[in-house]
Amino acid sequence: MSATNCPETPRQKMISMMYLVLTAMLALNVSTDVLNGFTLVQKSLSQSLASTTAKNQSLYGQFEDLKSQNPEKVAEWLNKANIVRQKTDSMNEVLEQLKYDIIVKADGQEGGDLYKECIKNGTQYAIGARDNLDASAQVAMAVSMQGASANRANQLKVGLNKYAALMEQMVQKDSTRIKTIRDNFNTEDTKTQNGDPITWEASRFEMIPVSASITLLTKIQTDLRYTESEVVNYLKNQVDASDFRVNKITAEVIPTSSYVTRGGVYEARIILAAIDSTKRPKITVNGKVLENEKYTVGCSSVGTFDIKGQIDLPRADGTIQSYPFESSYIVGEPTAIISADMMNVFYAGIENPMSVSVPGVPTQNVSVSITNGILTRKGSGWTVRPTKVGQDCKISVSAKMEGGKVQSIGSKPFRVKALPPPIGYIEYRENGNPAKYKGGKAFAKANLISSNGVKAELDDADLDVRYNVLGFDITFFDSMGNGRIETSNSTAFTEKQLDLMRKMSRGKTFYISRIRAKGPDGIERILPPIEVKVN
């Protein structure tokens, strides 16, 4: 049986013990007690045989389930398992037929039929002539027309040797299983107690009681099924033997680029990465083995640089799988992007929105300074409030680079202008929508009367600056050409102004003048007059 460096399973120990008992029994006179002992061993072996056979059937079912999940990966190993099943079944049939023929020789045809019935029902057959010493040899050792080497015992020996060789080939990488197979199917000739040589065939069939021969053949059957179980289990394990074992799964984002210009597209692969935290792969980059999984290199010159190497990862079966890789990166001069959000100038007296960014540097690592103005952080941008008109504002940018070093990135000057004067208009609604009347054309009296008064704005769509109207005068003319001035000290028309408007006939004209408005710079301005033609 197995050596001390190849631990035996409980089942192997049990069968080995029974075999020793069986051998000891054969050395005794064939008494009734001895024959009863064979019967007990036969019963135990039969139960073990049935249990292992059922276990093997379940094992094949698991194999089939694996194939349904991954046919391409499992097919090779399942095909080998089916060969093992076919060869094992074939050898088992040879042994079963030999047992049947020995029982028929000893107990007659009626005994053989009863034996088959017991096999079918899963019960134990009680051998009648169990002490018969001739039946086994007459069946197994009979010399045929082909010569002595063709007797059934010899054919069985040859068949078992071929079977063992095939099973060893199936588990060629497992030395422990190979030794077990060789021990279970050892057909070498031995010696008797007297030291006389005896063939494997003779030791099992010549002058051996039928009860002992049947028990010996059943033991070979249990060895067959046990070997089948071990080999198929080995093959099943080989399905995943070359796979990598993992114990940690993380989500990873692999961007095509971590820097995207405005109007561009951010693209990234979002994957689950499976790793074995107990094994470190060997990573080689540009001929250098990394001490950890981070690759860093100084970038002292601009241009395109290539990196290539490979990752060596051990498989579960001890082999090494290599994964080569290639990539490249571009080193450019650091630049700052500074832009005024409204125009390429700053206007005095107001907060001018501004954007500052440095490609490849997080916003929180970018610092901005200014001359001739006040700089304020607002959301993701900045606002600039210039101090003096006619003197440039200079925006300077620096950034904290990797490693903590602060580097000056660049600067940009901006002209500083005073806000342009706004213009006045009458705000009203036309067909439910807001509208503006700026004078010089006919204006419906109904719209005039229902309007919201006089407003002011810059005549420049690029500047979003709000003005508040503080007051204005309206000059009306009577039929004699005499002028009458009515004043409003707010943005709305007064009741007197509205009353005069209602009395005006179609085609008449009045003027809104001395419109006073104040912007965010706090300066009060007098706006150009508005000529209103009543329609």
What pLDDT, on the 0 to 100 scale, is given for residue 491?
95
Q: Indicate the pLDDT class of residue 312, thresholds 50, 70 and 90.
A: confident
The answer to whether residue 119 is domain-embedded is: yes
Amino acid letter, 354: M
What pLDDT, on the 0 to 100 scale, is given for residue 362?
80
Over its C-alpha atoms, the chain yields an Rg (Å, rounded) of 52
Amino acid letter, 321: Q
Query: Which one-letter DSSP state was computed for residue 147?
Result: B
Average pLDDT over residues 201-216: 88
Alpha-carbon distance of 82 to 499, in angstroms, equals 108
Q: How far apart are the first and last CA of the chain?
A: 121
Domain span at residue 348 reads 337-417
Same domain, 150 and 15: yes
What pLDDT, on the 0 to 100 scale, is given for residue 3?
39
349 φ/ψ sector (left φ>0, alpha ψ -120 to 50, else beta): left
Domain boundary among 395, 417, 439: 417
pTM of the complete model: 0.49
Alpha-carbon distance of 96 to 217, in angstroms, equals 8
Same domain, 312 and 361: no
Report yes or no: 76 and 239 within 8 Å, Cβ to Cβ. no
148 or 265: which leads in pLDDT: 265
Same domain, 377 and 523: no
Same domain, 280 and 403: no
The answer to whether residue 17 is domain-embedded is: yes
Same domain, 67 and 200: yes
Residue 121, C-beta contacts closer than 8 angstroms, at least 6 positions apart? none
Alpha-carbon distance of 329 to 155, in angstroms, equals 72
The 10 Å CB-count burial string (b at 16+, else e) for 444-475 is ebeebeebebbbbbbeeeebebebebbebbbe
Average pLDDT over residues 125-149: 78
Amino acid letter, 144: S
Same domain, 211 and 290: no
Top mean pLDDT of 92-106, 390-404, 461-475 is at 92-106
Same domain, 361 and 481: no
Domain boundary among 184, 219, 238: 238
pLDDT above 50 for 39: yes
Same domain, 325 and 342: no
Q: Indicate the pLDDT class of residue 6, thresholds 50, 70 and 90.
A: very low
pLDDT above 60 for 8: no
pLDDT above 50 for 204: yes
Same domain, 140 and 44: yes
What pLDDT, on the 0 to 100 scale, is given for residue 4?
38
Alpha-carbon distance of 530 to 507, in angstroms, equals 16
Q: Which two tokens stand for residue 436?
A: 């503006």
Same domain, 347 and 455: no
The answer to whether residue 54 is domain-embedded is: yes
The answer to whether residue 500 is domain-embedded is: yes
pLDDT above 60 for 418: yes
Q: Which two tokens stand for residue 66?
A: 């694996």
Q: How many domains does the chain have?
A: 4
Instruction: Give the CATH number for residue 372.
Output: 2.60.40.1080
| Residue 156 backbone phi and psi in degrees, to 5 | -65, -45
pLDDT above 50 for 167: yes
Transcribe 407-468 into DSSP letters: EEEEEEEEEEEPPPP-EEEEEEEETTEEEEE-SSSEE-HHHHHTS--EEEE-S-TT---B-E
Same domain, 406 and 388: yes
The answer to whether residue 314 is domain-embedded is: yes
Report yes or no: 515 and 526 within 8 Å, Cβ to Cβ. yes
Q: Indicate the pLDDT class of residue 22, thresholds 50, 70 and 90.
A: low
Same domain, 144 and 68: yes
Distances from the Cα of 266 to the Cαs of 258, 259, 262, 304, in angstroms? 8, 8, 10, 21
20 or 525: which leads in pLDDT: 525
Sheet holding 337-340, edge to edge: 337-340, 352-357, 381-386, 373-378
What pLDDT, on the 0 to 100 scale, is given for residue 304?
77
Identify the weakest region by mean pLDDT among 315-324, 484-493, 519-528: 315-324
Mean pLDDT score across all residues of the chain: 84
The answer to whether residue 127 is domain-embedded is: yes
425 or 361: which leads in pLDDT: 425
pLDDT above 60 for 11: no
Q: How far is CA 245 from the centre of its chain?
A: 14
Long-range contacts of 58-66 (CB under 8 A, 24+ apart): 59/229, 59/232, 59/233, 59/236, 60/85, 60/232, 62/236, 63/232, 63/235, 63/236, 66/236, 66/239
